[in-house]
């Protein structure tokens, strides 16, 4: 895995490694909510989002591999870096969509995926994102949507490492396996029960 940095050679376009699109003028947001296949899939359906990239962040080990992160020993979590067009949407749009993609009350994992590498975290890159994330979390916590206290952390973003190629767009490369995993994890059933018709408004 490699860090998301740099410009392509012989090009005026800013194409970050692992992204594959021109990222000029795009803003980013980083979210963790269990399996990054699922967060990536859901984020890419949000209008105004141009790309979502699966990766690892929050730990100390440089250039971690999937096997290292999944062992739970690196401090990293599976996360998704979202690239969105600020001319179309604000940071609050993917932030709002994020809450309806997992169980924000579970701080010890996500559905069948257990361990701190699957815990929910919003990683902010500046004070504006931190304030927006805290405001959004507090509003959801006060809404009565969940009977348990929210366990989602809000932490400063450090180095984000792009996950291996086979994890990127897993939902479209392996649709049957992805649907089987997602259904059997209990994620979709939980979201449908928790959000009902409101779930359609989030994407």
**Residue numbers annotated as active site:** 35
52 has which bridge partners?
82
State the residue for tokens 């086979």.
Answer: 166
From residue 150, how far is each of 43, 61, 136 by CA, in Å? 21, 28, 11
């Amino acid at each position: 895995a490699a860090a998301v940095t740099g410009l392509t050679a012989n090009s005026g376009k800013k194409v970050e490694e692992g992204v594959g699109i021109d990222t000029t003028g795009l803003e980013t947001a980083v979210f963790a909510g269990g399996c990054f296949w699922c967060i990536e899939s859901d984020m890419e359906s949000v209008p105004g989002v141009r790309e979502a990239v699966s990766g690892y962040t929050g730990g100390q080990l440089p250039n971690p591999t999937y096997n290292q992160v999944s062992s739970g020993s690196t401090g990293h979590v599976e996360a998704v870096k979202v690239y969105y067009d600020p001319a179309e949407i604000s940071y609050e749009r993917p932030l709002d969509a994020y809450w309806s993609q997992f169980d924000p009350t579970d701080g010890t994992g996500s559905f069948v995926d257990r361990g701190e590498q699957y815990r929910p975290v919003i990683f902010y890159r500046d004070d504006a994102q931190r304030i927006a994330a805290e405001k959004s979390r507090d509003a959801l916590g006060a809404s009565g949507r969940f009977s348990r206290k929210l366990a989602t952390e809000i932490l400063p973003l450090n180095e984000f490492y792009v996950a291996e190629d086979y994890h990127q767009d897993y939902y479209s490369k392996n649709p049957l396996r992805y649907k089987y995993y997602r259904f059997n994890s209990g994620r979709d059933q939980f979201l449908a029960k928790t959000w009902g018709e409101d779930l359609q408004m989030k994407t």
